[in-house]
Amino acid sequence: MAERSKHLHERKPPAAGQQAASGFLPQATLPRNPPDEPIAIAEMANHFGVTHRTLHFYEEKGLLSAGRIGLMRVYTRADMQRMALINTCREIGMPVAVIQELLEELSGATSQEEADCIFRQALRTRRRELTAALSTIQRQSQQIERLLSDDDDHDDAPTAHRIAVQLTDLEKRCLELMAEGYTPMRLSRALGLQSDEIAALEERIIRKFDANNRFQAVAKAVLLGVVAS
């Protein structure tokens, strides 16, 4: 065990642009019953409902830094706390570059209060961005409706409010939960599906609404009255 612990903490030095872990991080919800250290990459991926490739990507971007036992990537509880924060940021559509900046700023936090304040400010900024995006979608939808209202055949012209998005019962339920803020991990538990099945389900919903991501799909669904706001 001592040898395993020794290897666990033998981490590579941060690459260019990679930030050292902050001593203070805002509180993010951790998965229930987190595994004992060292945490294998398979356990890490399963607990957060992501793929191994996603964890590799986060490591490449300097968001995470895995330890090693032989050739296997392993993580600590501190890494899980960091991953919980990253996951929270991704769930609200925060770009990776912005998360990098956030973690860099958090690395300079000298207290838990300062770290929480930094995170709240980042959330307020993201809220303004989403509000602006929703306003843009509403304006574009209204413009489409005005353009279609000029059509001579008003009865046959499919206005924005009459656009029908065909959803299965499972897709409709998933979309309703997404609108309530459910993360993929919570969706997996609520719907009794595996993480890869949830990912495929969300992708179908996003594609049906001709959206770029889950948040835009929810916004369009609300505008079209498919789900309640």
Domain of residue 186, CATH code: 1.10.10.10
Give 68's strand partners.
Answer: 73
**Does residue 78 sit in the same domain as residue 173?**
no
Helical H runs in 109-194?
112-149, 169-179, 184-191
User: What SS3 state is found at 211?
Assistant: coil
Residue pLDDT, tens place only, 28-76: 666 667 778 899 999 989 888 889 999 999 999 999 988 998 888 899 9
Q: Which domain holds residue 222?
A: 164-229
Q: Examine the domain organization and report whether 6 and 107 are in the same domain.
A: yes
- Do the domain assignments include residue 28? yes
- pTM comes to 0.57
- Give the helix ranges, DSSP H, for 23-111: 41-48, 52-60, 77-91, 96-106
- Checking if the pLDDT of 155 tops 60, the result is no
5-35 per-position pLDDT tens digit: 444 444 443 333 333 344 788 876 666 677 7
Amino acid found at 35: P
Helix (H) or strand (E) holding 75: strand 72-75
Tell whether 100 and 6 lie within a shared domain: yes
* pLDDT in the model for residue 148: 74
Return d(Cα 197, Cα 71) in angstroms, integer. Answer: 29
Neighbour tally for 223: CB within 10 Å: 19
Mean pLDDT of the chain: 80
**How many folded domains does the chain comprise?**
2
